[in-house]
Structure 1
Amino acid sequence: MSDQEESSSTYPRNIRDFQVLSSVKPSEWTEIELQFNHRTMSDLSPWLNEQGTHIHSQIIHELERRGV
């Protein structure tokens, strides 16, 4: 598998960049955006600062609200 094929299979194509998402409320994110960023932030949680922890908390709350 080439690097290009590998990267396209690990990063969903229909997900907006986090810089774009940071200016949008999590309630406006798609389900796949919420799930992808929750997984990423969970992996990085030991290194998140206060703002990152707050955003991750909002993502978790939105996933729970949607019943995902």
Structure 2
Amino acid sequence: MKILIVGAGGLVGKEFARQFSNGHRVLALTHRDLDITDTPGVRSVVLNERPALVINCAVLGVDACELDPSLA
């Protein structure tokens, strides 16, 4: 099964990638690979990669959400 893990640079995302890499095809993306606030970019990755499962471990910082409530 192909699994897309967003936010794979963090503690939880890294562990998901490690756990699922044994027996599954894992595409582990960090914030450098994918900006989760870029809707067309996220859509493009999902449509091009066609994962069977998406695990979102990405977060936006509280400060960013307080400065721009639309991100919350």
Same fold at TM > 0.5: no
Structure with greater proportional helix content: 1
Q: RCO higher in 1 or 2 (8 Å CA, sep ≥ 6)?
A: 2
More strand by share: 2
TM-score relative to the length of structure 2: 0.29
